[in-house]
Chain A
Amino acid sequence: MSTKVYTETHQLSDPVAERAPLVLGGLDFHDVTEIVAKPVEDKIQPLWVLAFLGALTLLGVYGISVAWLVWEGTGIWGLNNPVDWGWAIVNFVFWVGIGHAGTLISAILFLFRQKWRTGINRAAEAMTLFAVACALSFPTIHVGRIWLLPWVFPIPNQMWVWPNFRSPLLWDVFAVSIYGTVSLLFWYTGLIPDLATMRDRAKGKIARFAYGFFALGWRGSHRHWINYESAYGILAGLSTPLVLSVHTIVSFDFAVSQIPGWHTTIFPPYFVAGAVFSGFAMVLTLMIPTRVIFGLKELITTRHIENMAKIILLTGSMVGYAYAMEFFIAWYSGNPYEQFAFINRMFGPYWWAYATMISCNVITPQFFWIKKFRTDPVIVFVLSIFVNIGMWFERFVITITLSADYLPSSWGYYTPTIWDLGCLIGSFGLFFTLFLLFVKFLPMVAIAEVKAVMPQANPHWDGYHHDDHDDEPGNDEEAA
């Protein structure tokens, strides 16, 4: 155990003085492998089984709701004129938004060389994939006759009918499905070396085969690593504009229409900020319990939580600014319909939704100005749940703007049905089922990446020139 010798004699601090180290507890490379592999290799815990059964139950609710929807049609939802985009779209935008944190962490923070991302990127990317899966399910079932869904793609057909490429709804099909696909490729690329680690540790034949199959025969060749790192960098570079484009295009679904309250140019940046805001909240909601349950506190440290809280503070403030600016522009535009839409949001029949949104999204993040709150996992966890709730209500507030447009004669009040609720709760079942399977079968921290940011990963690290642990120059400890 030659590496152990170094770690015991040298303090593993961040090269930039006074920053908390990214990996705590003086771990060596082998310890990192052990910590991450443990939850996967351990026997299944009762707590996991319990959580999994709960998630499966909710997934069953989703299954029943969707089955009834397909059988009976979208009339089982509370959708009606004028609100013909109900919770299906609210849930869609909610889940797509959550799906933004993973790629932001893995791509944008990668390009900015934010090394702290390595502790959380794997789980956040997984969360992204599952959130995008939930998101994609909503427009899919919202079309009603889902067997006609292939029509959204430009597939040659005997009717000579092509999709309308001038429609933001079609852009959305491409944006979200490609976002999901590229996120999957990115996530899988990151997994290859770690799957090799799991393969080389696997005891059972099936596990060895399964991990080995997906590890593609990875043998850590440094000539491979050069191409790998290049590909990873390209994926990060491509994902960065992609992640920003996705919610931009989602916002076009609203902004390109003529509805007062929707037809605004602030929508794209405001949606993107909100997406990052909600995504980081969901990462915190998931990772704070996970790091405790699976003993990952040394890899996902308070510094990680604090950094994410800071991003929530930043994006939350941007969202708050956008809310204010929307009002200002409505007034400044001199357009009475626009002005009415916003006053109606705040004081109209849905004032309670607006109040929930403001208190959760504008007030909650401001607590993170205080370091004590940012560094207390319990407080961060509670506040992150408020952000999740607030961001769902934001999408609700935007969508039910439809309830009062230009013609008072067409106004209405939207009430969801039990099946709307079934779909919302059920989608959480899908999300948690996938997430629980992930934490059970795959390494939830990027093993190779975490090792690469540890100080002793640098071949020129100071610790290697101190030979006080051995009287021979560092290379023959095992001579005996």
Chain B
Amino acid sequence: MLEFGNEIKCELLGKFIIENEYDIVTVRQTIRQFAKDAGMGIVDQTRITTAVSELFRNMYNYAGGGEVLIERGEVENHNALIVTCIDKGPGIENLELAMSDGFTSGMGMGYGLPGAKRLVDRFEILSKVNEGTSVRIMKWK
């Protein structure tokens, strides 16, 4: 399992498992609620919800599911909502290619990862072939 360093002080808000399409919807709704609670407007709520939706779908489609951590932490003097997606899937061979617009290894449009990156304030990705992929995104007001 690939994990990010713990340099940010965060408070855990929830831990979820993505196993099916229904989980994608419920966890996505939970995150929308957390965003709302954090005082984000409708545009920011929609952005983070859509970004996590892309990540969850990737986990579900390519890795058969994974784990989601939702945290709140202080990042660059912002009160950030932090979502970490961890899967033990096949991993991404060429991260640079995966992060470029229009590239897809499956049936998608190829805008999932780069699109999610544009929707949030900070985007981090770790991946190792045959080990898995971890993505951490942060969004603040």
Q: Do A and B belong to a common assembly? A: no
Give A residues with C-beta under 8 Å from B.
none
